[in-house]
Amino acid sequence: MAGEEIEALIGRVAMRDQKAFAALYKRTNPKLYGVCLRITGNRTDADEVLQEVYVKIWQRAEQFAASEGPAMPWLTAIARNRSIDFIRARKPIADELDSAYDIADADLDPEEQAIVKGEGRRIDRCMEELEADRARAVRSAYVEGLSYQELADHHSVPLNTMRTWLRRSLIRLRECMDR
User: Domain 93-178 class?
Assistant: mainly alpha
User: Domain 3-89 class?
Assistant: mainly alpha
Residue pLDDT tens, the chain, 179 long:
467 899 999 999 999 999 999 999 999 999 999 999 998 888 999 999 999 999 999 998 998 877 677 888 889 989 999 998 888 877 555 555 555 555 444 555 677 666 667 777 888 888 889 998 998 998 888 777 778 888 898 889 998 999 999 999 989 988 888 87
Residue boundaries of the structural domains of the chain: 3-89, 93-178
Tell me the whole-structure pTM to 2 decimals: 0.51
* pLDDT of the residue at 138: 87
Q: What SS3 string covers the chain?
A: CCHHHHHHHHHHHHCCCHHHHHHHHHHHHHHHHHHHHHHHCCHHHHHHHHHHHHHHHHHHHHHCCHHHCCHHHHHHHHHHHHHHHHHHHCCCHHHHHHHHHHHHCCCCCHHHHHHHHHHHHHHHHHHHCCCHHHHHHHHHHHCCCCCHHHHHHHHCCCHHHHHHHHHHHHHHHHHHHHC
Q: What SS3 string covers 19-33?
A: HHHHHHHHHHHHHHH
